[in-house]
Structure 1
Amino acid sequence: MKSSEGSILVIDDEREITELITLFLEREDFTVYTSDNGTDALRIAESLVPDLIVLDVNLGRMDGIEVCRDLRKGACADVPILFLSCKSEDRDIIRGLSEGGDDYITKPFSPSQLVARIQAHIRRRRTRERTSTEEQVVSLNFPGLEIDFRGLEVRMEGEPIALSAKEFELLSVLARQPNRVFPLEELYRRVWQSDSMGDTRTLMVHISNLRKKLEIDPARPRWVQTVRGFGYRFCPANNCEEQSTLSN
């Protein structure tokens, strides 16, 4: 008998959706738990602490954004959350990811695409957990900024900065190779462990959220900078300026 690939909590008030997701996930040997409301979902999540949570934005009395906010306060603070919704407007995506979501997929969706996205998140989380205690570089120190890989903490001028798991991973990838410009595709692949770019807005929203926490002026970033038309880079020097194009 195969062992479970992990546990997934699916929170959606549409029975057809939860049954479809459950069917496809169980085919890949995941253990699936379901809930059709926020109150029960929070109780289940706190008790089981699943490997990943699929969360519908449009629940009943307690919407998915509120559920996500409460999940991040408890035992599921670091559990990947993938939002699922019929909403596709930028403001809805930004709101969901800003409240602690790791990824976003809109209805109607391909079940196989959803499963692939879930597998990528779980693979990435397990890789991070497995290597965190083996990491040769314990920390990186820049003027005013310290990244502690062992403690998974970031400090600005000695004060801790609360980053989400994805924000920490993005900063870690960029800061390990200062001044190197990462194309969007490569940065997405490294952090989300997926060969598909999916929705580029997911990456850009996380970068925006990261800047809001690190930068004095997010509109003129000093640490995480854009090379327009190409990607992002981490700049450790005070005299770095954003570039509009790559230099030959």
Structure 2
Amino acid sequence: MSDTPIQVLLVDDDADLRDLLRTFFQQRGIEFSVLHDANQLMRRLERERPSIVVLDLMMPGIDGLTALRQLRTSGNTIPVIMLTARADGVDRVIGLELGADDYLGKPFMPQELLARIHAVLRRHAQAPLAVQAERREAFRFGCFRLDFATRTLYRDDDPLKLTGSEYALLEVFALHPMEALSRTKLVDLLHGPYAEVTERGIDVPVWRLRRLLEDDPANPRRIQTLRGIGYMFVPGNSDDEKPA
């Protein structure tokens, strides 16, 4: 990670938590600012660019998932850690599907949030899957072309709509073809070692990718299930798509 000072923006309606975290971060020389709700988040980010946004899930007005969806739909890729007091794993999956970088359940120790922030920023700084995207040649398999520079998947010349998590997973597969990848390894490559992501957090985008890439998603050839292990991406070649 670079020596650039960390700037944290917390969006949470819990005044006690805001005060606790403000004291904790400022004592460590970390710039820390707050919003009481997400209603002005987009406008706030037009004026300033923090290193990371820590976004509460349950808030009055615009909730955290809606705010995250607005960010990603607008093309804003700022790192986001979601906070939630709910134990519902579905919300975690949805948040990660929408493009959250990590998820942290309440209650938590400030030290744990700081560790998560460092991990997320380290991944963004290293950007192992994207840092040289513009210099990387498009990945071609069958009738598909994955353009790393534009983060776009094409079938022949037609662009296909991918969510952020679907693109990220396909990029991982494209960079690790013919490798047996456990779910744990995939979570690590996608979200880092501290991410709280269940197996469903991998299985859902796999299922969605299969609907795009496979002739028969129920009998996949490209994204194969390795029972007891995980998945393997078998790209094939353009000849696979040509009629006999």
What TM-score comes out, normalization by structure 1 length?
Answer: 0.78
Matched, 1:39 2:39: yes
AA at the equivalent of 1:49: R
Q: Deviations over 1:35-65 (max 9, x none)?
A: 0111122221232233322111110122112
Deviation, 1:101, is 2.4
Aligned to 1:59: 59
User: Against the structure 1 CA distance between its residues 235 and 98, is the aligned structure 2 distance closer, same or farther, given a 3 Å change threshold?
Assistant: same
Name structure 2 gaps, 5 residues minimum: 238-244
The structure with higher relative contact order (CA 8 Å, sep 6+) is: 2
Name structure 1 gaps, 5 residues minimum: 239-248
Q: Which has the larger radius of gyration?
A: 2
AA at the equivalent of 2:126: T
Q: Any idea what SS the aligned residue of 2:7 has?
A: strand
Q: Any idea what SS the aligned residue of 1:232 has?
A: strand
Aligned to 1:244: none
User: Against the structure 1 CA distance between its residues 122 and 164, is the aligned structure 2 distance closer, same or farther, given a 3 Å change threshold?
Assistant: farther
Alignment of 1:1-248 (within 5 A): 4-26=4-26, 29-74=29-74, 76=76, 78-128=77-127, 131-132=131-132, 135=135, 137-194=136-193, 196=194, 198-201=195-198, 204-209=200-205, 211-213=207-209, 215-216=211-212, 221-237=220-236
User: Against the structure 1 CA distance between its residues 149 and 43, is the aligned structure 2 distance closer, same or farther, given a 3 Å change threshold?
Assistant: same
Aligned to 1:243: none
| Range moving further from structure 2, 102-111 or 125-134 | 125-134
Q: Any idea what SS the aligned residue of 1:179 has?
A: coil
User: Against the structure 1 CA distance between its residues 186 and 226, is the aligned structure 2 distance closer, same or farther, given a 3 Å change threshold?
Assistant: same
AA at the equivalent of 1:131: V
AA at the equivalent of 2:101: D
User: Against the structure 1 CA distance between its residues 96 and 150, is the aligned structure 2 distance closer, same or farther, given a 3 Å change threshold?
Assistant: closer
Does the 8 A contact of 2:92 with 2:197 survive in 1? no
Aligned-residue CA RMSD (Å): 3.0
Q: Any idea what SS the aligned residue of 1:71 has?
A: helix
User: Against the structure 1 CA distance between its residues 116 and 220, is the aligned structure 2 distance closer, same or farther, given a 3 Å change threshold?
Assistant: farther
Does the 8 A contact of 1:80 with 1:121 survive in 2? yes
AA at the equivalent of 1:226: T
What TM-score comes out, normalization by structure 2 length?
Answer: 0.79
User: Against the structure 1 CA distance between its residues 53 and 223, is the aligned structure 2 distance closer, same or farther, given a 3 Å change threshold?
Assistant: farther
- What is the aligned length? 232
AA at the equivalent of 2:94: R
Q: Any idea what SS the aligned residue of 1:59 has?
A: coil
Aligned to 1:241: none
Q: Deviations over 1:11-40 (max 9, x none)?
A: 100022223333444455543221011112
Structure 2 Cα separation of the partners of residues 66 and 54 of structure 1: 14
Does the 8 A contact of 1:42 with 1:71 survive in 2? yes
Does the 8 A contact of 1:167 with 1:207 survive in 2? no
AA at the equivalent of 1:88: A
Does the 8 A contact of 1:215 with 1:223 survive in 2? no
User: Against the structure 1 CA distance between its residues 87 and 127, is the aligned structure 2 distance closer, same or farther, given a 3 Å change threshold?
Assistant: same
